[in-house]
Amino acid sequence: MNDIVRDKAAIVGIGRSEFGRFLPESQLKLGSIAMKNALADSGLERGDIDGLSLHMGWPLGLDYDQIAEAYGLDVRYINQMWTHGRFIAYTLQHAALAVISGMADTVACVTAISFTRERDILGGPGDMEGMREGGGTHGESPPYGLTAPAAGAALAYQRYMSLYGATSEDLAAVPIAFRKHAQLNPHAYTYGKGELTLEDHQSQRMVVDPLRLFDCSLISDGAVVILVTSAERARDLKQSPVYISGMQGLRSGREEFIFSPRSMGMNQQSNGRSGADERDLAVYRMAGIEREDINGLYTYDAFSPLPLFVLERFGFCAPGEAAKWVQDGRIELGGELPMNTSGGLLSESHIGGWNSVYEIASQLRGECGERQIEGAEHLQWGTAWGDSLVFRN
Amino acid sequence: MDISQKPLPRITPDTEPFWAGCKRHELLLAECNACSKVHLPPGPVCPFCFSDDLGWRKASGRGQVSAWTVVHKEWFAAFRDDLPYNAAQIELEEGPRLTANLVGVDNEKISVGMEVEVTFDDVSEDVTLPRFQPL
């Protein structure tokens, strides 16, 4: 089974637009800039793209039919998922599976979003998903005033603090680390704005207790395009291929709550946490590596507790230990496990997480200059809810 | 969506008896007649044994705060005057959890493990919301 997927598809081109806030361009325009940059990066022609895979559709971003029509594509494979960070890995996985199976030769993963233009969808009048009966997709409960995704992460970290003695000060290590990384990344929105101190973090206003302003991601605009093709074809192209070595899906069920570790007593979860299990670790088996071989970890850091929970999900530390584990620079460049080295959603920009996919490919191509992870061979995308990809160069 | 009005629960065929119970000021749990387990949110089948043979059991109405937050940011205009307001997940004595607000408590004093009991708020002619107050 592993042989079907391992290293059989690769990222061969990466492109992005400017990242920022209140950018005047339409999502279609931002996407076209990223698409042109990805094609130029890869040496492929527009006509080589015969598949699209995406998850950040209307109203935040673009739907597949708009992309194909506006950019003059003629594609034969489409995968469009739900407009959530939980489908980043899936979008790439389906692109890889499409080229491996022969359903497509080259798939473009397109994300072009304008959070600032469409900000009503975050807990405001445009957020119909939050109104779902029985609770929104991040634990929203609108009749009680929980209309925004942040509430789910706040509830979970509040419980986590109570169970394990973690604090808001502990949590600050996450945004402090990612802001530090962003100071080495001229493309980051917070580049040049300086590092954060614990005092900066603690003095910011509370948004949704215990999350302060710097615990919540940037609300930003921009586009990223990632081109995926077969490993065989990749070898003849301009860039060194970034191989997709392993993949696994997200977990769901009564023991899971999207913004919490498994079985931590949130929603209908039981109260009985245990460490990472075989299903959490399947991605390493598929890639033929051990967790210890991972040189950097990238995750969907919409809220600063999520990077803690991902560390526990994949067993980098035991349940309840992550808040202490991330102290003293451990997740910073030069530390034991650098995370989100471009600054992530918290400090680079919230391009639906695709800014971090761009960074993974850049790191594995050795193009990150001052923030290069020395000797990076295996990098992992993984989220608190369990989906993952392992990439290698 | 009209953001000047607080959203009301969306009532479905599966949840209608729960909300009808709230209107009578009774907190109901979906109960499986096959395996006797209770669950929330109310569904069409038992999530534990997948039986269709479901009934309803009156909950004691007592429970503990298992998670809580205080919202300081205005996302939805109808809640502006309430800021800052709390919301919590309540673990009922019978096991299932509900999300609701806590009333009759200072937001500074909320904690995980706090013992609470249900109280009913008739927010409209048709809808009554369960909320919780300290025991």
pLDDT digits (tens, 9 = 90+) for B80-115: 999 999 999 999 999 999 999 999 999 999 999 999
Residues of B with CB below 8 A from A159's CB?
A: 66-67, 112
Distance between B88 CA and the closest CA of chain A, angstroms: 8
Predicted pLDDT of residue A135: 74
B67: domain CATH number? 2.40.50.840
- Give the best residue of A144, A164, A205 to mutate against chain B (max B CB count within 10 A): A144
**pLDDT > 80? residue B2:** no
Looking at the complex, report in whole angstroms how far the Cα of residue B108 sits from the nearest Cα belonging to chain A: 11
Query: What single DSSP character describes residue B102?
Result: B
CB-based contact, A292 to chain B, within 8 Å: no
A1: confidence class by pLDDT, cuts 50, 70, 90 = low
Cβ of A124 within 8 Å of Cβ of B47? The answer is no
For chain A, positions 146-165, list CB contacts with chain B under 8 A: 146-148, 151, 154-156, 158-159, 162-163
Domain boundary assignment for chain A: 1-122+219-239, 133-218+242-393
> Which token pair is A149?
């995704």
CA distance A302 to A110: 20
Q: Is residue B9 included in any domain, yes or no? A: no
Residue A83: band (very low, low, confident or very high) from pLDDT cuts 50, 70, 90:
confident
Residue of B nearest to A149 (CA): B75
Q: Closest Cα to residue A357, out of A3, A63, A16?
A: A16
Q: Report d(CA A380, CA A385) in Å as an integer.
A: 14
Residue A384, SS3 per DSSP: coil
Is B20 part of a structural domain of the chain?
yes
**A207 and B CB contact within 8 Å:** yes
CA–CA separation, B113 and B109 (whole Å): 12
B70 lies in some domain: yes
**Contact call for residues A21 and A222 (beta carbons, < 8 A):** no
User: Is the ipTM reported for this complex over the cut 0.90?
Assistant: yes
Average pLDDT rounded to a whole number, residues A92-97: 98
Asked if the model's pLDDT at residue A119 lies above 90, the reply is no
Minimal C-alpha gap between A110 and chain B (Å): 29
Q: Which residue of A has its CA nearest to B18?
A: A134
Q: What residues of A are in contact with residue B66 (Cβ under 8 Å)?
A: 159, 265-266
Query: How far is A141 from chain B, CA to nearest CA, in Å?
Result: 7
By Cβ distance, the residue of A124, A128, A206 closest to B72 is A206
- For B89, name the nearest residue in chain A, comparing CA atoms only: A267
The two domains A1-122+219-239 and A133-218+242-393 share their CATH topology (first three levels equal): yes
Across the interface, whether the CB atoms of B7 and A143 are under 8 A apart is answered yes
Residue B125 lies in a domain: yes
Contact A188, A321 (CB under 8 A): no
State the pLDDT at residue A172.
98
Question: So what's the pLDDT on residue A124?
Answer: 75
d(Cα A331, Cα A339) in Å, to the nearest integer? 5
Task: Tell me, yes or no, whether B6 lies in a domain.
Answer: no
Say yes or no: A166 contacts chain B, CB-CB below 8 A: no
A124–chain B Cβ distance below 8 A for any pair: yes
Of A383, A386, A376, nearest to A293 by C-alpha is A376
Cβ–Cβ < 8 Å for A359, A368? yes
Q: Mind listing the pLDDT tens digit for each residue in B55-84?
A: 999 999 999 999 999 999 998 899 999 999
Give just the sign of the alpha carbon dihedral A107, A339, A206, A317.
positive
* Domain coverage including residue B56: 16-134
Residue A157 to residues A150, A153, A208, A383: CA-CA distances in angstroms?
Answer: 11, 6, 11, 16
In the CATH scheme, what architecture does the domain A133-218+242-393 have? 3-Layer(aba) Sandwich (3.40)
CA–CA dist B128, B10 (Å, integer)? 12
Closest CB from A145, A151, A254 relative to B47: A254
Q: What are B104's two structure tokens?
A: 């009759």
Over the stretch A253-284, which tens digit does the pLDDT of each residue have? 999 999 999 999 999 999 999 899 999 999 99
Q: Please tell me the total count of domains within chain B.
A: 1
Q: Which CATH superfamily is domain A1-122+219-239 in?
A: Thiolase/Chalcone synthase (3.40.47.10)
Per the CB < 8 A criterion, the answer to whether B32 and B47 are in contact is no
Given A134, A207, A268, which is nearest B72 (Cβ)? A207
Residue B1 falls inside a structural domain:
no
A304 touching B (Cβ < 8 Å)? no
